[in-house]
Chains A and B, each alone.
Chain A
Amino acid sequence: MVRKALGWLTFVMILAATYLVFMWVPNEKVMGPVQKIFYFHVASAWIGFFAFLIVFIAGIAYLSTRERKWDIIGVSSAEIGVMFTTIVLITGPIWARPTWNAWWTWDPRLTTTLVLWFIYLAYLLIRSSIHEEEKKARFSAIFGIIGFIDVPIVWFSIRWWRTIHPVVVDSSGFAMSSKMTTTLMFSLAAFTFLYFYFLSNSMFVEKMRTELVGIKESLRNRF
């Protein structure tokens, strides 16, 4: 019930965000319409990072409580995070090409996002290399903690690295009008709802899967 309501709410929010982005907010003067990708690009980056934070918290919670629910939250968040980080890595170059005249620059934000993407792909890979449910949960909780702690160090090292090698194109921001800020904030909110909707769906599926295992086991015990 709650899940359904959340689904509809998310749908309306995303629809409204799309309206704001394409109809309401004015084009950026220099970049033109291509800049509109920015609203979803930033929102995806935010969700990616937020999801990985949840993976980290769920990891700690799992190791201290050993409740399966935390493992499910962890893996669902990692999957969502990888998906949104992928969107960031795709929309980034689309935006960068016309703006900076290059598909990719080794800008700290881009590069950190790429490293993040690899870290959480590794997280999913670890899970797929383990059969035992308990070990899978334990190892991925541990890796989720280690990986997240690494993120700030990655960020700083890449930033210093790039300040030594001068960046060819200036990737700093642009002045945002108030309408742009409003649109961005609204997109962020809409994507956050989207994240929670996805999370609740993943958790629901996992819960069904657990129930199924339980039913199978009780059937096996009966016959």
Chain B
Amino acid sequence: MNYFNQIATLVRKDLASELRTKEMLSSMLIFAMLTTVVFSFAFDPDTETVKKVFPGIIWVAFIFAGIMGLNRSFGGERNNDCILGLMLCTQDRGVIYLGKTISNLVFMYIMEGITLPILFVLFDYRLKGSLLLLITVVLLGTWGFIAVGTFMSAMAVNTRNSEILLPIVLFPLIVPVLIAAVQATGIIVNGGNWADTVNWFRVIGAFDVIFTIVPWLLFEYLLEV
């Protein structure tokens, strides 16, 4: 019980702090929208090609914006050595990992909730499949990305060139969840149903579970002083 209380307290602290400064969310949002606009310049939004690359555009925008957020995630804990404070008050370091992952997920979901409709409008795209399924793939795909991303950002923040390092170490690791999320999104927006996407959901599900448990177990080693 104490374990979950601590996670909840940590998440609440992150949200309260973000609500005050809005630093992370605003830069993530602006970046996601900028990426979208750049894409519409790069690929003429009227052509058929765009219909094909649309799922890819969605996820590239999400992931680029996500990297921005992740870079800040543990940066905030470094000011005044707050991470030491967290280490003093948690018996299990997994609390810090899970708390941070949940906060980052909340920020991502807010950003995605705003960006996704805008993407559909800008590219004049009609959703042919189920909205519920689309939301599910966004939620689960983002979870996998953030689960491993939070862990890697905790690692990167402890190195010399953290901001450059994070994307380089993170992108190869998220290949499976990226492929699966883009494919599933593509099937759904073109009218596919659950049966068409189930294999991709399996990949995402496996990735989410494995890359939540393994980092959770390894976090203690990451945070040693």
Q: Is A22 part of the binding interface, using a Cβ–Cβ cutoff of 8 Å?
A: no
Q: Given that A146-B151, A157-B175 are known contacts, is A125 also in contact with B183, CB under 8 Å in the complex?
A: no
Q: What's the Cα separation between A134 and B199 when bound, in Å?
A: 42
**Known contacts A157-B203, A160-B203, A161-B183; A139/B155 CB under 8 A:** yes
B176 touches A154 (CB 8 A): yes
Partner-contacting stretch, out of B62-70, B73-81, B89-97, B215-223: B215-223
Measured CB to CB, the nearest residue on chain B to A63 is: B221
What 1/0 flags go to A115-137 for Cβ under 8 Å of B? Answer: 10011011001100111000100
Contact A126 B155 (CB under 8 A): yes
Please give, as numbers and ranges, the residues of chain A lying within 8 Å of B203 by CB-CB distance.
153, 156-157, 160
For A142, the chain B residues whose CB sits under 8 A away are: 155, 218, 221-222
Identity of the chain A residue whose Cβ is nearest the Cβ of B203 in the assembled complex: A157
Contact between A146 and B159, CB atoms less than 8 A apart: no
Contact with B along A62-100 (1 / 0, CB 8 A): 010000000000000000000000000000000000000
Number of interface residues of B (CB under 8 A): 33
> Is A138 an interface residue, CB under 8 A from the partner?
yes
B20 within 8 A of partner (CB): no
Kindly state whether residue B102 has any CB partner on chain A within 8 Å: no
B171 contact set on A, CB distance < 8 A: 118
Tell me the complex Cα distance, A157–B183, Å.
Answer: 10
A118 touches B221 (CB 8 A): no
Inter-subunit contact B159/A129 (CB<8 Å): yes
B187 closest partner in A (C-beta): A164
Name the segment of B32-40, B103-111, B161-169 touching the other chain.
B161-169
The contact sample of 29 A-B pairs, CB cut-off 8 A, is: A63-B221, A115-B175, A118-B171, A122-B168, A122-B173, A125-B169, A126-B165, A126-B169, A129-B160, A129-B162, A130-B158, A130-B159, A131-B160, A141-B221, A143-B155, A145-B214, A146-B211, A149-B210, A150-B176, A153-B203, A153-B206, A153-B207, A154-B176, A156-B176, A157-B176, A158-B176, A160-B200, A160-B203, A164-B183
| B interface residue numbers (CB < 8 A to A) | 148, 151, 155, 158-162, 165, 168-169, 171-173, 175-177, 179-180, 183, 199-200, 203, 206-207, 210-211, 214-215, 218, 221-222, 224
Q: Measuring CB to CB, which residues of chain A are less than 8 angstroms from any residue of chain B?
A: 63, 115, 118-119, 121-122, 125-126, 129-131, 135, 138-139, 141-143, 145-147, 149-150, 153-154, 156-158, 160-161, 164
